[in-house]
Structure 1
Amino acid sequence: MRSRLTLAAASLAILPSVVCQTFTTCDPIKKTCPDDPGLNADSLDADFTHGSGAISSFSAAAYTTLTYGDNGAEFTIAKQGQAPTIQSNFYIFFGMISVTMRAAPGTGIVSSVVLQSDDLDEIDWEWLGGNSATVETNYFGKGNTTVYDRAIYYPVSDPQDNFHTYAIDWTADRIKWIIDGTVVRTLQYGDANEGKNYPQTPMILKMGNWAGGGEGQPEGTIEWAGGKTDFSKAPFTMYVKNVQITNYYPASSYSFTDESGRWQSIKVNTDASSGSNSSNMTMSSSTSSPSTTASVAPLDQNTGAAVAVTSTGESYSVNTASVSALNSGSAVVATTQVPAATASRSPTHSGSQSTQTGSSGAGRLGIGALTLLITVGLGFWVL
């Protein structure tokens, strides 16, 4: 049985020829910005094989249409200009995200799972539809694209035909990229330009696919994506079965206390009011993982929960693109693998957080929705 969810566009889309890049509505290292809504629970488990209820903790980009079946949420590109994308309605501040998925096939088609912050810190998984043997790992700090030497590709068995579980374990002192339980890459804080390029501020999760080889894309982007996309071979579908998120610092919101962009400047607000029960971060590299494992399940699909439609201000045709997809040439592939860390050193948190669970596996997540609706008046592209 399939259920279908079509999200009506809330604004006109900007022309699809716009250069693909990540986007922020307010950069807190340049000016004062609103607090980021947090995940006020230790964890979240969204099972997309149960239908549209699993998307209740996410918002969809304009013109996004998702179909649900036994393989979970289907992100389908059927024609030029489409880029189905969702993003979490909350931020996490250090944690672990795990996505069980199957990448979309097709030359020039890019499937993405991206963690991104307001100041353009970024941690990426990216799959190229014309490459059936590898997955790209990448990261950026403060949107720094002065060099493109951070991407490393790792072997994975037929990512367009087989489901795999891809995870990112992110702490203040290291990041691990994990495939099916095996760590393939570890980045230490000091190895990212002495921490200057280390992702370290609260992030949202973005998932979707787009045509890096589509008409109007810069030559560098087309080359990186593997070539021009032949839409006569559409549809190109990415499947997501399950998303699990562990938040090492549950909070109602997160505040930037200065413009440094350093994790030490982030205030963790554990009350609905950002001025109450809040404190700046303190942690040690020798701390251990959280001891609580309570989860927040998705809403039951029978509740008919409304799904917010948001436009993040980017070109709708490329709104899951990472910084690596900018038009400055192909990403550089490292020839050696970064050694994995010998021990997990996740930060701890204190205080129990309220969660909602039910015997049916359905619950409601008590967080405020992230409102990022940007109305763009230049578009005349109509799906």
Structure 2
Amino acid sequence: MPSLLKFAAAALAVAQASAQTYTTCNPLDGTCPADKGTTESTLSFDFTQSLDDWTTTAGTVNTGSNGAEFTINKQGDAPTIETDFYIFFGDVSVTMKAAPGQGIVSSIVFESDDLDEIDWEALGGDSTTIETNYFGKGDTTTYDRDTWPSVSDPQNDWHTYKVSWQKDAITWYIDGAVVRTLEYADASSGTRFPQTPMRIRIGIWAGGDPTNGEGTIEWAGGETNYADVPFTMYVKSVEINNANPAESYTYTDTSGSYDSIKLSGAAALSQTDSSSSSSSTSTSSSSTKSSETSTTDATTTATTTKETSSTSATKGSSTVSGSSSKVSGSGSASGSTTPSGTGSSSGSSTTGSSSGSASASGTGSGSSTSASATPTYNAAVNVASNYFAPISLLALVAAFIQL
């Protein structure tokens, strides 16, 4: 009987926790707007300074010397923030102190539009463990996904909680030590493996609120006594590595599988801008050419394409296309350019991360460059004259000597 009661309590607790999550449009049910991504692969957030790029979705979250402050001051408080962008696989590390207080839950949640979910949940009355959990497609038909790894005094000590979310496995870490690994196949043969673009949500709520169900209160560690407020969780910093940078993520069907996600404006081009001397500029493109002319003079060495040319580069499942484009350092670019004659370029091509489309005509300005083509100049004729003119002169001299 005790085990049955524990199972029922866990079931009710999960149901309550699910109420803290939501989706405004579920792509398993039909077409939804694209998810906003980020073209940055690495993002660092110092919450002692600001909450930039995060949205407060409930309550009030202040910042101070200990970072972001999530405080329950009265019944009904549940301050929460989330990223204003999604990521698609990668690593997330959160350095925090959980809130004290019986029945108080400090949460770190990854969640997607189709209700894939990865969780950390620390209970205010538990000073020795923290919960890890996951859900796939909002499925709560079973309640056996949680584990409770050991952690020392999470309410008073700083700890870094990390999730490495990859397409074949999810690994949870505490202070750099692995505490759990979930393989893709172990989540109902992958059908319940979290695998769609997610936002990161951080917040605090009272699982022990007396209005909650008995099972939820029991799971949370007992009924919350609001006479003991305030209850505060502190989050000092967050580090995010996005494995698939993109401007947006789109579900192409209702399968909810990772290979159905289309990336737009992804950082698929990574080129190094080589140094040039003051009297020489080199521009190259690998293209399909309908006509090509190689030109050489004292000031410019370039390969130019007349009529049309195109270049495509891919990284992961993203595609960036363009012609005669150059990105300094690494970043993202998206678009296509068509060189024709001489002119100037417009669009986006920058150091770092950018996206857009550009139309280039001949010589470009800024970071997007095309060599200026001279239609009357014929490289083959020039090469022939360079080689054969001295030979013809030599033959003329030899004939004169013979006379």
- The TM tier, using the shorter chain, reads 0.5 to 0.7
Output aligned runs, 1:252-331, within 5 Å: 252-270=247-265, 282=317
How many angstroms does 1:214 deviate by? Answer: 0.8
For residues 300-350 of structure 1, give each alpha carbon's deviation from its aligned partner in whole angstroms, at most 9, with x where no partner exists: xxxxxxxxxxxxxxxxxxxxxxxxxxxxxxxxxxxxxxxxxxxxxxxxxxx
For residues 1-58 of structure 1, give each alpha carbon's deviation from its aligned partner in whole angstroms, at most 9, with x where no partner exists: xxxxxxxxxxxxxxxx9983421000001111000000111111010112xx3x1101
How many angstroms does 1:271 deviate by? Answer: 6.2
CA contact (8 A) 1:96 1:170 kept: yes
Q: Larger Cα Rg: Structure 1 or Structure 2?
A: 2
Paired amino acid for 1:22: T
Q: What is the distance in 2 between the residues matched to 1:149 and 1:294?
A: 43
How many angstroms does 1:294 deviate by? Answer: 8.6
CA contact (8 A) 2:210 2:217 kept: no
For residues 144-169 of structure 1, give each alpha carbon's deviation from its aligned partner in whole angstroms, at most 9, with x where no partner exists: 10000000000001000000000000
Compared CA separation, residues 279 and 60, structure 1 to 2 (3 A): farther
Higher relative contact order (CA 8 A, sep 6+): 1
Task: Tell me the secondary structure at the aligned position of residue 22 of structure 2.
Answer: coil
Task: Report what 1:215 is aligned to.
Answer: 210
Task: Report what 2:120 is aligned to.
Answer: 125
Task: Tell me the secondary structure at the aligned position of residue 219 of structure 2.
Answer: helix
How many angstroms does 1:217 deviate by? Answer: 1.1
Q: What is the distance in 1 between the residues matched to 2:48 and 2:136?
A: 34
Task: Report what 1:27 is aligned to.
Answer: 26
Are positions 1:61 and 2:49 aligned together?
Answer: no
Name structure 1 gaps, 5 residues minimum: 1-16, 284-292, 296-351, 357-383
Q: What is the distance in 2 between the residues matched to 1:260 and 1:164?
A: 37
Q: What is the distance in 1 between the residues matched to 2:108 and 2:351?
A: 27
Compared CA separation, residues 354 and 202, structure 1 to 2 (3 A): same
How many angstroms does 1:69 deviate by? Answer: 1.9
CA contact (8 A) 1:115 1:204 kept: yes
Equivalent residue in structure 2 for 1:71, among 66, 69, 83: 66
CA contact (8 A) 1:268 1:279 kept: no
Task: Tell me the secondary structure at the aligned position of residue 240 of structure 2.
Answer: strand
Output aligned runs, 1:89-104, within 5 Å: 89-104=84-99
Q: What is the distance in 1 between the residues matched to 2:220 and 2:237?
A: 26
Task: Report what 2:130 is aligned to.
Answer: 135
CA contact (8 A) 2:245 2:266 kept: no
Task: Report what 1:197 is aligned to.
Answer: 192
For residues 262-318 of structure 1, give each alpha carbon's deviation from its aligned partner in whole angstroms, at most 9, with x where no partner exists: 00100011169xxxx9989659xxxxxxxxx999xxxxxxxxxxxxxxxxxxxxxxx
Output aligned runs, 1:99-118, within 5 Å: 99-118=94-113
Task: Tell me the secondary structure at the aligned position of residue 139 of structure 1.
Answer: strand
CA contact (8 A) 2:250 2:261 kept: yes
Compared CA separation, residues 282 and 294, structure 1 to 2 (3 A): closer
Task: Report what 1:38 is aligned to.
Answer: 37
Q: What is the distance in 1 between the residues matched to 2:198 and 2:68?
A: 22
CA contact (8 A) 2:165 2:171 kept: yes
Paired amino acid for 1:178: Y
Task: Tell me the secondary structure at the aligned position of residue 49 of structure 1.
Answer: coil
Name structure 2 gaps, 5 residues minimum: 1-15, 268-311, 319-328, 332-349, 355-403
Task: Report what 1:366 is aligned to.
Answer: none
Paired amino acid for 2:25: C
Task: Report what 1:336 is aligned to.
Answer: none
